[in-house]
Amino acid sequence: MENHHFKGAKWCFATRRIDQSLAHGLHQDFAQAQPGDLILGRVTSIGNHQRIQLPAGRPSTLYPGDLVVLPCGARYAPDQFEGLAEIDEKGSDMLAGGGCLGRMVHRNERIKPPTRIQPLGRITSKDGVVLNTSDFALPERTRPAQIPVICVVGTAMNSGKTTATAALAHGLTKAGWHVAVLKGTGTGAFGDYNSFVDAGASFVADFTDAGMVTTYLEPIPRIVAGIDTLLGESESLGCDIAVMELADGIFQRETAALLADASVRDRFSKYLFACADPVAAAGGVAELGRNGIRPIALTGMLSCSPMAVEEAQTATGVQVLTRRQLLDPAYANTLAARAGIERARHAA
């Protein structure tokens, strides 16, 4: 097939690094689909995801009959779906608006079933090779020892990690740092990415820039290599500090494995912990302590309530910082100092 078959297709945000002009043909051997393989499909029914996130950073309303390009991928999102990177020729599930096509295995009862996609083929280049997101990743790098990293983790989805990450990045930027804001794990989407760009960061990237549509069920060494690549790229571009968010909660499979690995923990200078209430704060601080981690501050939804702040600080002995404080250059600098990061490393 010639590439005119892709005319009008809506390419998802997770394909933003792909050279669309290379799309030439289709391969119907779906049983061989691998995570990251680009799939051309047709929308057959609208479910939970009524819009697709485009590479341009805006959503596009989906209609039955629309052509879409989504990478094959798994997803783990307790508020939405758990799904596997499997493509069924009879119909597959849109697991994420930013781009993730697979087979749903679990669904949160509060949301609709997934939008259904009829796969038309795995997209191939002119020479018949299936296009995969990994083919367009940043060059693999080894993390330089110099760049310091503040890692933001949390209890679960929607605990306030991204808000805290963006706020701290903005505060550090206002204080004169050249900040890289990175997302080390999760599922490709433009919401967090755009928030980090809006914060004024010098460089923004996530695991999709390292070739992964999602980090769920990816081998830990590959995720670690992706983190190293993002950090190496950050330093090569002149960033002198990185703020990295790890998705979902500290019990999530990949996040838990990363935090349990001493060699990975050593990559991060300090941790900021986002949670929703004092009980979550106490439990989370205790759980992190089992891995030898003590956060330098708590934040997240918890910080919206002065009463909850007082309870959490009493229970944990860890200071709670609000979004407003993280946005403040003076507080951001103080946090960097508490993380052992030398201000002398950059020009004010």
- All structural domains of the chain, each given as residue ranges with its CATH number in brackets, are 3-133 (no CATH), 149-345 (3.40.50.300)
Spatial distance between the Cα atoms of 72 and 64, rounded to a whole number of angstroms: 20
Q: What is the DSSP string of 164-196?
A: HHHHHHHHHHHTT--EEEEE-SSB--HHHHHHH
Q: Which residues contact 107 (CB under 8 A, 6 or more apart)?
A: 80, 81, 82, 113, 114
> pLDDT for 249-276, tens place per residue?
999 999 999 999 999 998 999 999 999 9
Amino acid at 238: G
pLDDT of 342 reads 75
Are 214 and 206 spatial neighbours (Cβ–Cβ below 8 Å)? no
Cβ-in-10-Å burial (0-12, 13-18, 19+) of 28 comes to exposed
Task: Provide the pLDDT confidence category of residue 208 given band limits of 50, 70 and 90.
Answer: very high
Task: Provide the pLDDT confidence category of residue 156 given band limits of 50, 70 and 90.
Answer: confident
> pLDDT for 64-89, tens place per residue?
999 999 999 999 999 999 999 999 99
Tokens of 24: 């030439």
Instruction: Indicate whether 1 pLDDT > 90.
Output: no
CA distances from 91 to 97, 275, 294, 295 (A): 17, 38, 46, 45
Give the closest residue to 91 by CA, choosing from 108, 61, 113: 113
> pLDDT for 282-330, tens place per residue?
999 999 999 999 999 999 999 999 999 999 999 999 999 999 999 999 9
- What does the chain come to in residues? 348
CA distances from 93 to 28, 215, 218 (A): 17, 18, 19
Percentage of the chain with pLDDT > 90?
91
The sign of the torsion formed by the CA atoms of 112, 113, 117, 118 equals negative
Task: Provide the pLDDT confidence category of residue 345 given band limits of 50, 70 and 90.
Answer: very low
Place of tokens 């995969």: 132
> pLDDT for 87-138, tens place per residue?
999 999 999 999 999 999 999 999 999 999 999 999 999 999 999 999 999 9
Q: What rounded mean pLDDT belongs to the chain? A: 94
Task: Provide the pLDDT confidence category of residue 4 given band limits of 50, 70 and 90.
Answer: low
> pLDDT for 159-182, tens place per residue?
899 999 999 999 999 999 999 999
The pair phi, psi for residue 189, each rounded to 5°, is -165, 155
Place of tokens 């090569």: 236
Instruction: Indicate whether 191 pLDDT > 80.
Output: yes
Instruction: Indicate whether 2 pLDDT > 50.
Output: no
Spatial distance between the Cα atoms of 52 and 99, rounded to a whole number of angstroms: 7
Give the closest residue to 320 by CA, choosing from 292, 280, 290, 262: 280
260: left (phi over 0), alpha (psi -120 to 50) or beta: alpha
Amino acid at 262: A
The interaxial angle of helices 329-338 and 161-174, nearest 10 deg, is 100
H or E element, residue 162: helix 161-174
pLDDT of 146 reads 84
Spatial distance between the Cα atoms of 337 and 269, rounded to a whole number of angstroms: 11
Region 215-231: what's the mean pLDDT? 96
Q: What is the DSSP string of 44-59?
A: EE--S--EEE-TTS-E
Place of tokens 């997101």: 133
Tokens of 328: 């403040």
Task: Provide the pLDDT confidence category of residue 343 given band limits of 50, 70 and 90.
Answer: low
